[in-house]
Structure 1
Amino acid sequence: MTIAITRRTALGAAAYLATLGLSDALAADSGPRMRIRLLETSDLHMFVMDWDYYHAKPDPTVGLTRVATLIRAARRESPNALLFDNGDFLQGNPLADYIAAQPPGTEPHPLVATMTALGYDAAGLGNHEFNYGLDFLEATVQNAPFSFVCANVVRAGGAPFLPSYTVLKRVFKDEAGAEHELRIGVISFLPPQIMSWDKARLEGKVEASDIVLTARRLVPELRAKCDVLVALCHSGIGTGAWAEGEEHAALHLAAVPGIDAILLGHAHRVFPGKDYASADGVDAVAGRLHGVPAVMPGFWGSHLGVIDLGLRRDGERWIVEKADVEARPIYRREGGTVHELTTADGAVTASIAAAHRGTLSWIEQPAGALDAPIHSYFVWAGYDPTTALVNAAQIAYAKPLLAAAGFGVLPLLSAAAPYRVGYKPDSFIDIPAGPVPMRAVADLYIYSSNTVTVVKATGAQIVAWLEWATRVFNTIDPSTAGSQPLVNRKIPSYNFDTIAGLTYAINVTKPSGRIADVRFEGKPLDLTREFAVVTNNYRADGGGGFAALKDAEILLRAPDTNRDAVFRYFRASPTVHVHDTTPWRFAPAERPVEVWFDTGKAAVPLIEGSKELVLLGDGEPGYARVGMSLGREI
């Protein structure tokens, strides 16, 4: 007996099945399903070992050796896995500096060898990959057995620097155990600001283009060649309107059609998670940017990024039906206690052992001596002998060079920022008096690739320079009762330049026009007078968005790094004198107003002996909270 089924009957049957919850079962028959896993590291900055080189002690909160244990576990959970690095792997700590200082050889870079052993499938570049120069970068990546890609950097004239993208072919099993060849397209982007940040190394050699515009041009081309498209985006999540040349362009990249998943980096934050609030187009809980799954795995090996994609075969193509996103940590901090969530991987530890031993021997060499201890615990209270020492070293280095170049008639100032001011709870400078090893001097100036640069600036430009630096402080309301947070943690401390050779006040109760009573040699600053100001190439070439320096004339590009200037300062004297003065102070508020900031717990004994500061208890996990009054000058 033949039963005729009309379209209405079929629709009715489908509706009936839906009421029984069976429509999904029918849909399941429409094609095979497969689950693939994308694993990401980013912003490793050569933290391969779980070791603090600056303080010569183990550090269970960092290290690829710890992440490797998570990688192996994640692969056991999901065999259809691919592993990517999203840049800023090559520079960032003494291990990186030691390796970069070795004579070139035929052996691969130790970290590339480690990544090869771990089975990385592809990697992108970050902005810090260029810090040791193009020759070192090219030697590092050219013989790697896995793909390095970068879409928005080309050689001057347009020739490729690296492949814009690659297509990985992998045979994976679907949920029924059947094998399928899957084509995974991988494209990579980095901030075009490298042309400013590393201008001296890159100008005339390479060109960088906008992330979004490059994606609009290349993603459709790659999409036609692959089943799944993964974007390695060494960029953070900016929620404002898109503008060409944007540094944090990940959200706008996600709006480019054709991308199935985005691996984030650069911002040194965790996504999904509390580091980001949900905004238009951002789901900070599920890990979505305009609906596209995205992950950011912190920095220095703090997390492993994981994206699980559920795919369904539809004819000749695979469709992403669902996704799960997480950033898996290597540790958890509760109060001041670190709870280790993983252990070091023996194979990774062994792979880097020789370079690690060489680094330890190198950084323990004596560099000089101090006549008093220095620390960075109270920078936000206006006590900063560490930056004062860097400024003194920069002036000592630049003064004879400027005189020889005919610029000695200009009054000389120096700009530097505090770098180790609690990026992590134990990330503070704390150097006792007496002999100082190289690792401690390196701690004073952590950016080993910055080179000494001198700009000419008028008094007006200098005031604008200082004004922009004060963004690190929140606007304090004198009429508000209770203690207010002093520091805006969204502004990195390396953008808080202080300028030695002047004295000035900062009025944090004002949203703008904060710089007051600027004096040079005890007299009010002449806004038309010209000065020579020692800084670094990053700042002189536009890093940090200091508009006051946009048209500043560069008087000198020195061949040495700022860190080298500090080393020379130590070597020039048997004992370096510590200056306990800081050029800036807080302007008094209209009435006493209480503020607070967090510092390292090792500072607690110093706080207890202070007349200006008061210990308020614990701050954010791992920190101590310090209170003070702005009712009078400090």
Structure 2
Amino acid sequence: MPSILDVPAMSRRSLLGGLAATSALVLLHPFSARAAANQAHLRLMETTDIHVNVFPYDYYADKPNDTMGLSRTATIIDTIRAEAVNSLLIDNGDVLQGNPMGDYMAYQHGMKDGDVHPVIKAMNTLGYTVGTLGNHEFNYGLDFMFKVLNGANFPFVCANLTKGQLASDPKQDDLFFKPYIIVEKQIKDGAGNESPVKIGFIGFVPPQIMLWDIKNLEGKAQTRDIVQAAKAWVPAMKEAGADIVIALSHSGIDGSGPSEKMENASLHLAAVEGIDAIFTGHQHLVFPGPKTWDGIANADPVKGTLHGKPAVMAGFWGSHLGLIDLLLEKDGNSWKIVAFTSEARPIYHRDDKKKVVADVADKKEVVEAAKAEHEATLAYVRTPVGKTSAPLYSYFALVADDPSVQIVSQAQTWYIKQMLADTQFKDLPVLSAAAPFKAGGRGGADYYTDVPAGDIAIKNVADLYLYPNTVQAVAITGAQVKNWLEMSAGMFNHIEPGAKDAALLNNDFPSYNFDVIDGVTYQIDLSQPPKYDSSGKAVNPDSNRIQNLAFEGKPIDPAQKFVVVSNNYRAGGGGSFPDIASDKVIFQAPDTNRDVIVRYVHDQGTINPSADGNWTFKPLPGTTVVFESGPKAKQYLADVKSVKIEDAGEGAEGFAKFRLVL
């Protein structure tokens, strides 16, 4: 059987090239087509980071979107199942939060015991074997999470989430969920005979949930390091009879060395002895795939392996289905893996003009399962709350002071001044930190806020602020304000003076960590290198990108105390900003940032979101840089006063290119 063992990873794309998922013609995977009498093909399929996107519909834009939707992924599941003699479907977490349907169900619907959440109703039609938890499962609190998960007709596993303090032995932890399950599946071999194989599934959640959702979890839960938990439980799975062990890791792939309670630990998890294959997620990326993973030791983005073991990450919002195909061979009374392939198969492609083209239609059963809640969500997001005198857009949010960030800061400042009016902090000056959430990037060329002047509906507020964060405020010094901004300035590449059309943006720096602080004025000197890397480490400690930082027109006093209002993620240490952690928190609101924006708009009646230009780049004569944004940004070029931006032609993947004259 040499030919079957030599099937390379990613070969399915060429094998099925041009085959539509709805076609009557289905080609068996080579493992199924050529398995010997003592061999069997097992196909494992993954959804991950669905984020309540049951439908191919962008509730923020209030229009269909062919790049997303479990109803579309479900259609390719049917075809992909048909390509294999034996298959199982798993989910890798982040299903309960992420779009207005999630908020509607949590805040408006009033779910009662016994009610089934629409994303769970949709998943129940697809025959999942098991799921694990993502970090966003905890955003609405433990009670809501358990109420929702109880409606699933499949189990959830998580080996590193405990009900209290960690035990000295991980196997003694008081866990919320079973750490693993072992599924005994009858599989058909190449001769058509059936025999059982025992497949173990173990799940992991990022330990950082204790920072990101401290308001929901403090005193109720604790997390253990992912790799540490795996080293304890995987041998137990083998002792319990598992032929193969599959890790469901809601954790991404980080090429840096292992560290305690690492957020993106899947690479190091794959090195744990006894784990045979690994499903990853959390980063909203695709693995196997090009470019992103180049240069990471022990990660092969072509074959789709981590430490030589098959691995996959299936995008986000239902954009892909992750596939790991295993050729199993009978070894006495047990099975072993003798070959594998790995693939992330998309639900859409782009044509020559970069236009999105759907590859599949909706699966009727999924649509029907959540139709009522979809209609209710549409009514919910279309409810007007006020008006705006100027457009709200985020096309230039990463390169200039921006109206979509400005309005968030205005609302946060308005709210926190009321909340602190009768406290010991009432006389401290208030600053506001806010970041753009919809700023293109992995979300694509349409992933921007764009609200015309006129009525503002709830969908527009949700578009401005994607996450159900709660308002928090910290008390820090002027020196710490500067370091906060130095961290944010990691968004930009180091630019040599006199450079022509140099790339401005650091694509590895997430837009939600690009905080603009309102209430001070400052410039960013791109001729100096970033002071901090994305983990908050001072890589250029003598660098000072933040120049001319002033409060009320005077240079900021490094010792002066300020209140900075932000959200629970940032105030709790999210993003690893220097000196910003829970010990600096002076106020924890019961209200979400989105609710505060809604209240502010309602209170003002008509808002004026025009950016005040409180930050800009320090001039570098003779220097130009380029960046990408959505093509629709061109209509707002004349509105940007703080910097000079020019149209620079077409970008990649449907984006437009712009030039900024420094």
User: 1:237 corresponds to which letter in structure 2?
Assistant: I
1:566 aligns with 2:582: no
| Greater Cα shift, 171-180 or 544-553 | 544-553
1:211 pairs, out of 226, 234, 237, with 226
- 2:132 — aligned with what? 124
- 1:258 — aligned with what? 274
- After superposition, the Cα gap between the structure-2 partners of 1:413 and 1:315, relative to the gap in structure 1 and judged at 3 Å, is same
1:36 aligns with 2:42: yes
> 1:368–1:571: 8 Å Cα contact kept in structure 2?
yes
2:148 pairs, out of 134, 140, 143, with 140
> 2:398–2:511: 8 Å Cα contact kept in structure 1?
no
> 2:571–2:584: 8 Å Cα contact kept in structure 1?
no
CA deviation map 1:487-507 (0-9, x unaligned): 111111000011110001111
For 1:43 and 1:447, locate their aligned partners in 2 and report how far apart those are by CA, in whole Å.
14
> 1:308–1:323: 8 Å Cα contact kept in structure 2?
yes
Q: Report how far residue 168 of structure 1 moved.
A: 1.1
1:618 aligns with 2:650: yes
> 1:278–1:284: 8 Å Cα contact kept in structure 2?
no
2:486 pairs, out of 464, 467, 482, with 467
For 2:466 and 2:283, locate their aligned partners in 1 and report how far apart those are by CA, in whole Å.
18
- After superposition, the Cα gap between the structure-2 partners of 1:442 and 1:609, relative to the gap in structure 1 and judged at 3 Å, is closer
- After superposition, the Cα gap between the structure-2 partners of 1:29 and 1:241, relative to the gap in structure 1 and judged at 3 Å, is closer
- 1:587 — aligned with what? 618
Q: Report how far residue 543 of structure 1 moved.
A: 0.5
For 1:609 and 1:616, locate their aligned partners in 2 and report how far apart those are by CA, in whole Å.
17
- Is the partner of 2:607 in helix, strand or coil? coil
For 2:89 and 2:233, locate their aligned partners in 1 and report how far apart those are by CA, in whole Å.
22
For 2:150 and 2:451, locate their aligned partners in 1 and report how far apart those are by CA, in whole Å.
40
User: 1:604 corresponds to which letter in structure 2?
Assistant: K
- Is the partner of 1:118 in helix, strand or coil? coil
- Is the partner of 1:277 in helix, strand or coil? coil
CA deviation map 1:241-297 (0-9, x unaligned): 111111111110111011111001000000000232253201000100010000000
CA deviation map 1:24-61 (0-9, x unaligned): xxxx9997101000000000111110001011111111
- 1:193 — aligned with what? 208
> 2:52–2:97: 8 Å Cα contact kept in structure 1?
yes
1:553 aligns with 2:559: no
For 1:345 and 1:29, locate their aligned partners in 2 and report how far apart those are by CA, in whole Å.
31
1:405 aligns with 2:411: no
- Is the partner of 2:420 in helix, strand or coil? helix
Residue pairs, 1:352-391, within 5 angstroms: 352-391=370-409
Q: Report how far residue 223 of structure 1 moved.
A: 2.1
Aligned residue pairs, count? 603
1:600 aligns with 2:630: yes
1:112 aligns with 2:103: no
- Is the partner of 1:381 in helix, strand or coil? coil
For 1:29 and 1:361, locate their aligned partners in 2 and report how far apart those are by CA, in whole Å.
52
For 1:161 and 1:581, locate their aligned partners in 2 and report how far apart those are by CA, in whole Å.
48
1:510 aligns with 2:517: no
- Is the partner of 1:403 in helix, strand or coil? coil
1:431 aligns with 2:451: yes
- Is the partner of 2:594 in helix, strand or coil? helix
CA deviation map 1:501-560 (0-9, x unaligned): 000111122113211111000000000000111010011111111122136521111110
- Is the partner of 1:391 in helix, strand or coil? helix
For 1:561 and 1:118, locate their aligned partners in 2 and report how far apart those are by CA, in whole Å.
34
User: 2:563 corresponds to which letter in structure 1?
Assistant: A
Residue pairs, 1:213-612, within 5 angstroms: 213-224=228-239, 225-274=241-290, 275-334=292-351, 335-422=353-440, 423-448=443-468, 450-480=469-499, 482-511=500-529, 512=531, 513-550=544-581, 552-589=583-620, 591-607=621-637, 612=644
CA deviation map 1:65-114 (0-9, x unaligned): 11001101011111311000000111000011111122232222221122
User: 2:331 corresponds to which letter in structure 1?
Assistant: D
- Is the partner of 2:619 in helix, strand or coil? coil
2:191 pairs, out of 176, 200, 217, with 176
User: Scaled by the length of structure 1, what TM-score is found?
Assistant: 0.93
- 1:13 — aligned with what? none
User: 1:616 corresponds to which letter in structure 2?
Assistant: A
> 2:197–2:334: 8 Å Cα contact kept in structure 1?
no
User: 2:595 corresponds to which letter in structure 1?
Assistant: D
**Structure with max Cα Rg:** 1
Q: Report how far residue 155 of structure 1 moved.
A: 0.4
Q: Report how far residue 378 of structure 1 moved.
A: 1.3
User: 1:306 corresponds to which letter in structure 2?
Assistant: L
User: Scaled by the length of structure 2, what TM-score is found?
Assistant: 0.89
CA deviation map 1:272-330 (0-9, x unaligned): 00232253201000100010000000011110001100010111221101101110001
User: 1:245 corresponds to which letter in structure 2?
Assistant: K
Q: Report how far residue 143 of structure 1 moved.
A: 4.4
Structure 2 unmatched runs, 5+:
6-33, 166-172, 532-543
> 1:385–1:582: 8 Å Cα contact kept in structure 2?
no
For 1:427 and 1:271, locate their aligned partners in 2 and report how far apart those are by CA, in whole Å.
22
For 2:586 and 2:156, locate their aligned partners in 1 and report how far apart those are by CA, in whole Å.
37
> 2:117–2:151: 8 Å Cα contact kept in structure 1?
no
> 1:462–1:548: 8 Å Cα contact kept in structure 2?
no
Structure 1 unmatched runs, 5+:
1-16, 22-27
> 1:36–1:78: 8 Å Cα contact kept in structure 2?
yes
| Greater Cα shift, 296-305 or 335-344 | 335-344
For 2:557 and 2:37, locate their aligned partners in 1 and report how far apart those are by CA, in whole Å.
76
- 1:94 — aligned with what? 100
Q: Report how far residue 141 of structure 1 moved.
A: 1.6
Q: Report how far residue 609 of structure 1 moved.
A: 8.4
For 2:238 and 2:372, locate their aligned partners in 1 and report how far apart those are by CA, in whole Å.
43
Q: Report how far residue 383 of structure 1 moved.
A: 3.3
> 1:230–1:263: 8 Å Cα contact kept in structure 2?
yes
> 1:84–1:123: 8 Å Cα contact kept in structure 2?
yes
User: 1:544 corresponds to which letter in structure 2?
Assistant: G
For 1:506 and 1:111, locate their aligned partners in 2 and report how far apart those are by CA, in whole Å.
44
> 2:325–2:341: 8 Å Cα contact kept in structure 1?
yes
- Is the partner of 2:398 in helix, strand or coil? helix
Give me the CA root mean square deviation: 1.8
2:660 pairs, out of 617, 628, 634, with 628
| Greater Cα shift, 599-608 or 137-146 | 599-608
- Is the partner of 1:527 in helix, strand or coil? coil
CA deviation map 1:209-267 (0-9, x unaligned): 11111111111111222111110011111111111111111110111011111001000
For 2:354 and 2:449, locate their aligned partners in 1 and report how far apart those are by CA, in whole Å.
18
Q: Report how far residue 414 of structure 1 moved.
A: 0.7
| Greater Cα shift, 543-552 or 127-136 | 543-552
User: 1:85 corresponds to which letter in structure 2?
Assistant: D
For 1:312 and 1:78, locate their aligned partners in 2 and report how far apart those are by CA, in whole Å.
16
For 1:551 and 1:558, locate their aligned partners in 2 and report how far apart those are by CA, in whole Å.
14
- 2:110 — aligned with what? 103
